[in-house]
Amino acid sequence: MENNFEGMETRKIIKMTRHKAELPLRIIAIALSCIIFILIGFVAQAAQNDVAVQEELATMLEGEDESTAAIAETIVALGIGCSIVMIGGLALVLLFAFYKQYAQIMSYSIKVTPTNFPEIYEKGKEFTEKLGLKKMPEIYVEQDNGALNAFATYVIGKRYVKLNAEIVDVAYLENKDFDTVFFVMAHEFGHIYLHHVTLLYNLFVSVAKAIPIYGPLLSRAQEFSADRVGQALTDNKNSEKCMVLMAGGRHLYKYIDINDYLASAAANHNALERFSRFIVNLLASHPITPFRTAAIMDPDRKSGRLL
């Protein structure tokens, strides 16, 4: 595959090729979440203290003209106070979920070390250095009943990546194909580098990401950006093979002609068929595979199709 970024510094490539819609969507998500937090805080406080607030306001209305400003300040203070309590509660819920997940990983996975899966460990060190991370994320391997998946996440003080054993199989058993596994791993390092996994980020986009259509839209932009990190870290080796690995499985992906796959996916379909696929992509947290593969194979690494 043509590489128009050869010789460029990794972090410069990432900055140039990050999906153009991701940061605007993130800013909107944070703003929406903050607005919703505040509105919910006002509503919750009013519902909880309806009688007390009415009595306080009635008393204040009997006073001086300046009481109008005092009333407004009281309402704002009550709403903000309730919002802060709600944000704190949500943060605790997220932390509990993060630590529950990490406990499961520690309980059922194999940690990548210089002894267990040394090739993966060394590649993790390389990615950490290229990205300028202060600390190498922990990497775990776990069998998951045949599922081809991986993810990156967070607990306080550390980031970590979990690779399903079914993906790692293609390096050690199926095809001796380390490059494809390294791209999967690099994609997950991308989520860490772009701060997609932190508590603070997830706290302030959590409400917006729950909004139908908008949440998946932001998620798809993040996935495109993480793919670009993966390409930058691996010098674009086997990135397109990773896509057909997810589509065709670990036994068959080596036999799939990617150009024919994309041509078939782009073949003429009637309006109803095209609309159906549009809906599938619209609601998906990850870009549909033809869009994602086409973006990876674009020599200019332009932003992939969100819709």
What pLDDT is recorded for position 207?
A: 82
Which tops the pLDDT comparison, 307 or 49? Answer: 307
Weakest-pLDDT range from 150-154, 207-211, 297-301 = 207-211
Does residue 134 sit in helix, strand or coil?
coil
Residue 71 lies in a domain: no
Give the total number of structural domains in the chain: 1
Residue 297 in contact with residue 240, Cβ under 8 Å? yes
pLDDT at 235: 93
On whether residue 5 sits in a domain, the answer given is no
- Residue 41, pLDDT > 70, answer no
The b-or-e profile of 241-251 (16+ CB within 10 A means b, else e) is: bbbbbbbbebe
Within a domain: 142? yes
Residue 108, domain member (yes or no) = yes
Give the closest residue to 167 by CA, choosing from 157, 154, 155, 179: 179
What range does the domain containing 262 cover?
10-23+93-297
Mark out the alpha helices in the chain (DSSP H runs): 10-17, 22-48, 50-61, 67-108, 118-131, 165-169, 178-193, 199-209, 214-234, 239-248, 258-265, 271-282, 289-297
CB 305 within 8 A of CB 288: no
| Spatial strand order in the sheet of 158-164 | 110-111, 138-142, 158-164, 150-155
Question: Collapsing DSSP states into helix, strand and coil, what is residue 145?
Answer: coil
Q: Residue 63 pLDDT > 80, yes or no?
A: no
Locate 75 and state its tokens.
């309402």
Instruction: Quote the percentage of the chain above a pLDDT of 70.
Output: 84
Whole-number mean pLDDT of the chain? 87
Give a yes or no: residue 187 inside a domain: yes
Q: Is residue 118 part of a domain?
A: yes
